[in-house]
Amino acid sequence: MSSASRAVVLVTGAAGFIGFHLSKRLLDAGVTVVGIDNLNDYYSIGLKRARLAQLEPYEGFAFQQADLADEAAINAVFSSWRIDVVVNLAAQAGVRYSITNPSAYISSNIVGFHNVLEACRHYPVRHLVYASSSSVYGLNATVPYSTEDRADRPVSLYAATKRSNELMAHAYSKLYGIPVTGLRFFTVYGPMGRPDMAYFSFTEKLIRGETIQIFNNGHMRRDFTYVDDIVTGVVNVMEQPPVENQDGVRSALYNIGNSHPEDLLCFVEILEDCLMQEGLIQERGKREFLPMQPGDVIETYADVSPLEETFGFKPNTPLKTGLARFARWYKEFCFASTST
């Protein structure tokens, strides 16, 4: 998105992993970014504040601490700014956490997203882009996953809320003409990432010399997608609202994944190699093999051909490159605290 457009982009979840990287990319391009985040304690608030600390020096950045479930707060933001594009990245994340804390997902992912849709209805925007997830494919056994596949058999509440977002967005587009695009993200990783993600928790345990837990006895494959690729995809999509389809709806869905699923054990070995290269560990760690956990799926694999055809882009950062960048960042940002 060019600075010449002088666009105002609202990024919800701006202190989050993807929200931070997207906001920084837009600010570097001269775009005005209004960020919203509730700074909850699902994981380290310190990490969220560290992300914000990199955004706050930008003249074009304005931040509001608010919860999407607070309708009045969301409306106040929309009424204060002439927002051109909304990128909704705020959500209660995590598949396993949704099993023990279901109400958090209803509040953030359902009520919160509804408030965003209502605000876009009453304060019209050029485009609403929102984060969905590969988890919506649930029990789908056909790979690679296509947006044409069934997505009505979720295996976690998190997945159910994300699929609900897609249906809600479609309905609001039909009823009120809001241009909406949903992006199904596939296992995003990279610097400044979420500590609850496997690669991050593996890193911390490996450095402490603890045993890492490998679920489904290692028989799992994930389509790991580097965060810079995700951000490039989001920016490309932002600039091109969907045209009206045959049903009279301006709604679209795309997968954003690396289209190259990696075996979990291979992934761990690459991560260990990168950590050893940075001097964070001296040898490979111990493994404990466990059964499949509730809410997990065996494989994720994205068909991104529609994304490539429409926008001329597909994620392509190799796992070794992305994990090397993560290990380098971890050494600079986190290792001092883990070694004290």
Distance CA 42, CA 90 (A): 13
**In this structure, is residue 9 part of a structural domain?**
yes
Cβ atoms within 10 A of the Cβ of 21, count? Answer: 22
**What pLDDT shows up at residue 317?**
96
Q: How many domains does the chain have?
A: 1
pTM: 0.94
Residues 83-125 pLDDT 10s: 999 999 999 988 888 888 999 999 999 999 999 999 999 999 9
Q: What is the pLDDT of residues 265-293, one digit of tens each?
A: 999 999 999 999 999 999 999 999 988 88
CATH of the domain at 112: 3.40.50.720
196, part of any domain: no
57 in any annotated domain: yes
Q: Is residue 112 part of a domain?
A: yes
* Residue 64, in any domain of the structure: yes
At residue 2 the predicted structure's pLDDT band, cuts being 50, 70 and 90, is very low
What the block records as the tokens of 9 is 């982009």
237 CB contacts (<8 Å, ≥6 apart)?
Answer: 129, 181, 183, 254, 311
Top pLDDT among 216 and 116 is at 116
Using the predicted structure, report yes or no on whether residue 4 has a pLDDT greater than 50: no
- Cα–Cα distances (Å) from 298 to 114, 221, 301, in that order, read 31, 6, 10
Residues annotated as catalytic (active site), given as ranges: 158
- Kindly state whether residue 67 falls inside one of the protein's structural domains: yes
Domain assignment present for 300: no
In-domain check, residue 114: yes
Q: Would you state the structure tokens that stand for residue 187, as one six-digit string?
A: 């296992």
What pLDDT digit, counting tens, does each position of 324-337 carry?
A: 999 999 999 876 54
What range does the domain containing 38 cover? 3-186+227-256
| Total Cβ atoms within 10 A of residue 195 | 14
Q: How many CB atoms lie within 10 A of CB 2?
A: 10
